Structure 1
Amino acid sequence: MGMSRSLETSYLKRKRPEVDTLGLVDAERAILNAIKSKKDLGIWVRDIKQETKLTDHVVNKSLKSLLARKLIKEVVNIQYKGKKHYMADEFEPSKQVSGGLWYVDGNLDKELVNVMKQLCLRCIRIEKVATLERVHEHLKKQQVVNFEISSQQVYEILNSMVLDNEIIEVKSTGLWQYYPIPIGTVCYRFDSGPVVAKGSKVGAFASIPCGACPRISLCTPNGVISPSTCAYHTKWLNIDF
């Protein structure tokens, strides 16, 4: 009997899950490691199951335990809103996951975006033609928000406005209102629409040859290549619109 009890005790010890310094059992530790390995990208619960090869019951129970201990957190991934994602508590969701400044809890902050759009429109209305840097400077001076906006975030707003046909993206020709802006620089303005005169011809800006010129980046007002010495540009100026 003594030998039998000894064998039974030994077997139970081998079957008992090992507990680490955090008080986690094997399954919890394996799941935590899988989540940590994804850092600030997080991981979908189905991927956790595939990586750890654990059953649904064990994974779900372990996730609840890890959440209760605040070792992990559930995050909203804007690309997969219907799928539960988990991330180690020490990481903050990457922009790819959270959507960045313009999202709150996975939802677009429409009110903030609309405010920023109106500020951008005001700048373009004042400047007539504005570069990304100029719009960025304008927004920083307004101080209507209590956080710092990056140039990339301003670009995201301007790009969304271009896609919504609220403004158009053009390249500076170095002429007229473009004169202060280096030739070839990307800038933004309102779409004045086609100019219809003498038989529905296309507007002047739409037909300007500079937009399709392969040497636009080398063209400067007083350079070897310049609007004043360009045969195509001179011909365009003489067109009777």
Structure 2
Amino acid sequence: MKAQLLRVFTYPPPRPWNALPPATFSAVAMALVQVPNLEEFYQFISERPGGVYLEDLARAGWPDKTQATHLANALLTQSRLDIITVGEKILLKAVAPQLALKLSRLEATTRSVYQQIEKAGDRGAWSKSLKDQTKLQQHTITKAIKELLKQQLIKEVKSVQNRNRKVFMLIDLEPSLEVSGGTWYKDGEFNYSWVETLREYCLTFMDKNHGRPASQAELHRFVMQHPGPQVPTEEDILCIMKTLELDEEVSSLVTSDGQRVFMRRRKGGFDQPMDIFAARLPNFLRQAEGEGRLVVPCLCCPLRNECKAGGRVCPEKCEFLTRWLQPPEDPVGNEDVLMDW
């Protein structure tokens, strides 16, 4: 009975390995090498987000380039690996399992559109450029984009440079400043309300300080305590303060240690007059550091409304205007105070 079963399960009789065609033998042998090492190969690459080169694989235990190539091809067919050409070298980067599963379900044309969007990076790609790069018809491009949006693989972003154009990029990428416009834009439109909110935050902080000078870092820390649609940087806060300075809401000066500080201006008073074009106290009250000449004294002169040609207060007799017009290589050295008109 046992002999009969053995004959049944071994029919037809197995062929020896050396009887197989060379191509079949090579494929089977390679499969036996691939299967136990494929997951280990993928794990090694996935642990290195920056990718690995063939030289890295050789040092890690895959010295045979043919074997590494077969393993890489096996992962490529499963959409678990990206191959990037860097100069004359080949860089292998692992694809996350969930993303690989989504990519494996895509049609060839949709996969081609996805790859072009991926290459565009944080600047994005628009439909015309995708059509030129993939050589596909427009309706095919539209269908592929809808499928990629449905699978949440890409997103569409309004470009501030081209109001009527939407670009597409990978869903986990932040648009570049050229596309998004930075802190001051939302959905491709200038966010006026957010700018006004930041201005109010800065003025509120300065009012709470009761006249004490406030630094750029202090203002930024206060603003960061109030969440908003964007996360402003210290440079963004400096831009906000410059708008307040031009509106004559605040004044600024540079301290001896090179730090710029801001102060709330008093409405209607001349105790802290300021040249808004030079962003400092006017030089008829304080000599400019490192200069030796005066800067636009007329803009902040408390008698500017009375100044007229031939009058008691006039440009012809103004010593400060004369000193300001002196060439920088021959400054007037006397330290006069504000004249009594």
Report the TM-score, using the length of structure 2 for normalisation.
Answer: 0.45
Q: Show CA shifts across 1:35-58 (max 9, x none).
A: 111211112221211222211011
The residue type equivalent to 1:85 in the other structure is V
Residue in structure 1 matched with residue 332 of structure 2 by the alignment:
232
| Residue pairs, 1:1-241, within 5 angstroms | 21=79, 22=103, 23-120=105-202, 123=206, 134-141=215-222, 145-146=226-227, 149-160=232-243, 165-167=246-248, 168-172=276-280, 192=300, 195-199=304-308, 201=314, 209=324, 231-232=331-332, 234=334
CA distance in 2 between counterparts of 1:95 and 1:52 reads: 27
Q: CA RMSD in A?
A: 4.4
Alpha-carbon offset, residue 67 of structure 1:
1.0
Report the TM-score, using the length of structure 1 for normalisation.
Answer: 0.60
Residues 1:119 and 1:90: Cα distance change in structure 2 (over 3 Å): closer
What is the DSSP-based 3-state SS (H/G/I as helix, E as strand, rest coil) of the residue aligned with 1:31? helix
What is the DSSP-based 3-state SS (H/G/I as helix, E as strand, rest coil) of the residue aligned with 2:215? helix
The residue type equivalent to 1:59 in the other structure is I
The runs of 5 or more residues in structure 1 that have no matched partner are 1-18, 185-190, 215-229
CA distance in 1 between counterparts of 2:210 and 2:145 reads: 54
Answer whether contact 2:220 2:233 (CA < 8 A) is retained: no
Answer whether contact 2:123 2:178 (CA < 8 A) is retained: yes
Alpha-carbon offset, residue 119 of structure 1:
4.3
The residue type equivalent to 2:154 in the other structure is I
- Segments of 4+ in structure 1 off by > 3 A? 118-128, 141-144, 158-162, 171-179, 181-184, 191-194, 200-210, 232-241
Q: Percent identity?
A: 23
What is the DSSP-based 3-state SS (H/G/I as helix, E as strand, rest coil) of the residue aligned with 1:149? coil
Answer whether contact 1:172 1:182 (CA < 8 A) is retained: no
Count of equivalent residues: 195
CA distance in 2 between counterparts of 1:34 and 1:138 reads: 43
The runs of 5 or more residues in structure 2 that have no matched partner are 1-76, 80-102, 249-275, 292-298
Larger Rg: 2
Alpha-carbon offset, residue 84 of structure 1:
1.7
What is the DSSP-based 3-state SS (H/G/I as helix, E as strand, rest coil) of the residue aligned with 2:165? coil
Residue in structure 2 matched with residue 187 of structure 1 by the alignment:
none
Q: Show CA shifts across 1:140-177 (max 9, x none).
A: 24666237632221233245557xx5243425479688
Alpha-carbon offset, residue 105 of structure 1:
2.2
The residue type equivalent to 2:305 in the other structure is V
CA distance in 1 between counterparts of 2:173 and 2:319 reads: 53
Residues 1:48 and 1:238: Cα distance change in structure 2 (over 3 Å): same
CA distance in 2 between counterparts of 1:134 and 1:208 reads: 33
